[in-house]
Structure 1
Amino acid sequence: MPPAPARSVVRRFFDGTAYLGRGLKMWGSDPRLMLFGALPALIVAAVYLAALIVLFVNAPALAEWATPFADEWPEGWRTAVRIAAIIAFVGLGSLLVVYTYTAITLAVGDPFYEKIWRNVENRLGGIQNEIEVPFWPSVRRGILDAVRILVATAAIGLGLFALGFIPIVGQTLVPVAGAAVAGWFLALELTGKAFDARGRSLKDRRRALAAIRPTAVGFGVASYLVFLIPFGAVFVMPAAVAGATLLSREALTDQAGSGSGPAL
């Protein structure tokens, strides 16, 4: 009996990855809209590509700066610690880039992604009792929510960064944990529009996604891994917005079924 829940969690995780696949499938049904949504991602990607190149070039120097205690160590141990430090710096940079990339791209491309999100909602029957939020209060709320998510991401990311200096653990468990953390926060960020339109706060969003956490993390991890592919986010971001809309409806329906109020 004990193995059954584990299989259930794994199955739900892959159910989450399928949401990204469903978002990609929508590309074929409306390619013009999806290519339209790729424009802001392309602009932001060009800026981030330059930043990542700077990080990669300077990673060895950063590793030496962060590990002065290893200067007098035997060469083998010194090399191992500094390789671990390089991987930790790159891992932390990737985690922060993926999150901030998503937040900035969503902000820059808000009119583009609004059309994609609305298109998906309308295909599925629209939103009952939609909450109309004035523009400036909506912007202010979005910024505050983004800052809250960023603070939480940074705190966890710094912890993972510190663990990255531990040989073996830093190169095995930390990247997996980093992907899971990035996936969770990506799901949290990308589902913002669907929850905001229904008058749900960031706290409500966290609670609803936590109820289907394996599914939410599966969707987020799949998006995160594709975003790590050079220029992958440029073409996948519109599909991720579409997939997040589908994920939101599952989370809200699940919440409604548990007695938390109407979802759709």
Structure 2
Amino acid sequence: MIAQPIQFREKISVMSSSEVNGVHYFTQGWKLISLPGIRRFVIIPLIVNILLMGGAFWWLFTKMGQWIPSLMSHVPQWLRWLDYLIWPIAVVSVLLVFSFFFSTLANLIAAPFSGLLAEQLEARLTGKTIPDAGIWGIMKDLPRIMKREVQKLAYYLPRALLLLILHFIPGVGQTLAPVLWFFFSAWMLSIQYCDYPFDNHKVSFADMRRSLGRNKIDNLQFGALVSVFTLVPILNLLILPVAVCGATAMWVDRYRHLHLAETARR
């Protein structure tokens, strides 16, 4: 089956480079999840996200009243006059850490179906033959997909641990760590969602990171918006498929031709 390229994608070619940024691709994601023929591939990632993120945030908000006072107890006495600033920073910090943790868990469970969504959407965006979407195809790719998820965790965990340790340094940690965590989460979420179309084309994890690093500002914009919307009730239930679709649109526009040309030269 040959797909027709989606018409509104053609508008990108007449937009200036300043307009085609991470914000643009994030908004594209919201449009793309509702496309006929794509909606059915959104369902399973959506269900996984609703169950995990919905349950996680309900549990988190029941615990916040205990955790925040405990966290504030690490603030030295001479900084107590800044409680009115440090308290909201502590709340945001806890929300960022746990939203990223549970979104990572949701992504791990939904990874095979997110890869399928990226594959199907790429075919629609490029007008190429739509791949057969069967359970056997998912099962065949499952070991490779899970290996890739382990690579992402291996990249993430040491850096997250350093930020966690920084958080418990009195005074400095409570103010600096949340800011660093936000930017790190933005970068990791960009990696997480852009990885699906890259991995579908067997681009190595290291090569993908180098490619994303060449457009780091735009990828940080994209990841930051995903991170912020992960904290917004109701909208955070939709964010997994939205981010996959936005990242796939970015792959098609910015990276696909480069990596296909490199593959052809080998």
Task: Tell whether the structures are fold-level matches, with TM greater than 0.5.
Answer: yes
Instruction: Kindly state the Cα deviation for residue 221 of structure 1 after the two structures are TM-superposed.
Output: 0.9
- The answer to whether the 8 Å contact 1:64/1:82 transfers is no
- The answer to whether the 8 Å contact 1:190/1:240 transfers is yes
TM-score (norm 2): 0.71
SS in 1 for 2:30: helix
What amino acid sits opposite 1:59 in the alignment? W
Q: Write out per-residue CA displacement over residues 198-230 of structure 1, whole angstroms, 9 at most, x where no aligned residue.
A: 111211211221122112111111111111112
1:77 aligns with 2:79: yes
Distance 1:143 1:57, change over 3 A: farther
Distance 1:127 1:150, change over 3 A: farther
TM-align CA RMSD: 3.8
| Alignment-derived partner of residue 100 in structure 2 | 99
SS in 2 for 1:220: helix
| Alignment-derived partner of residue 157 in structure 1 | 160
| Alignment-derived partner of residue 7 in structure 1 | none
What amino acid sits opposite 1:23 in the alignment? G
Instruction: Kindly state the Cα deviation for residue 95 of structure 1 after the two structures are TM-superposed.
Output: 3.7
| Alignment-derived partner of residue 239 in structure 1 | 242
Instruction: Kindly state the Cα deviation for residue 152 of structure 1 after the two structures are TM-superposed.
Output: 3.5
Q: Write out per-residue CA displacement over residues 164-194 of structure 1, whole angstroms, 9 at most, x where no aligned residue.
A: 45647843x5433322211111111112221
Distance 1:142 1:230, change over 3 A: same
Distance 1:203 1:35, change over 3 A: closer
Cα separation, 2, equivalents of 1:103 and 1:127 = 31
- The answer to whether the 8 Å contact 2:41/2:116 transfers is no
Of 59, 66, 71, which residue of structure 2 is paired with 1:58? 66
| Alignment-derived partner of residue 49 in structure 1 | 57
Tell me the matched-pair count: 242
Cα separation, 2, equivalents of 1:135 and 1:112 = 8
Between 180-189 and 78-87, the greater mean CA deviation after superposition: 78-87
Cα separation, 1, equivalents of 2:218 and 2:69 = 39
| Alignment-derived partner of residue 201 in structure 1 | 204
* Aligned pairs (5 A) from 1:162-241: 162-164=165-167, 165=169, 167=171, 170-171=174-175, 173-241=176-244
- The answer to whether the 8 Å contact 2:99/2:230 transfers is yes
| Alignment-derived partner of residue 24 in structure 1 | 30
What amino acid sits opposite 1:184 in the alignment? W
- The answer to whether the 8 Å contact 2:41/2:113 transfers is no
> Identity across aligned pairs (percent)?
19
Instruction: Kindly state the Cα deviation for residue 245 of structure 1 after the two structures are TM-superposed.
Output: 0.7
SS in 1 for 2:233: coil
Q: Write out per-residue CA displacement over residues 223-248 of structure 1, whole angstroms, 9 at most, x where no aligned residue.
A: 11111112322122211110011122
Distance 1:160 1:106, change over 3 A: closer
Distance 1:121 1:216, change over 3 A: same
Instruction: Kindly state the Cα deviation for residue 47 of structure 1 after the two structures are TM-superposed.
Output: 2.6
| Alignment-derived partner of residue 141 in structure 1 | 144
Cα separation, 1, equivalents of 2:154 and 2:62 = 24
Distance 1:12 1:47, change over 3 A: farther
Distance 1:202 1:122, change over 3 A: same
Cα separation, 2, equivalents of 1:150 and 1:187 = 14
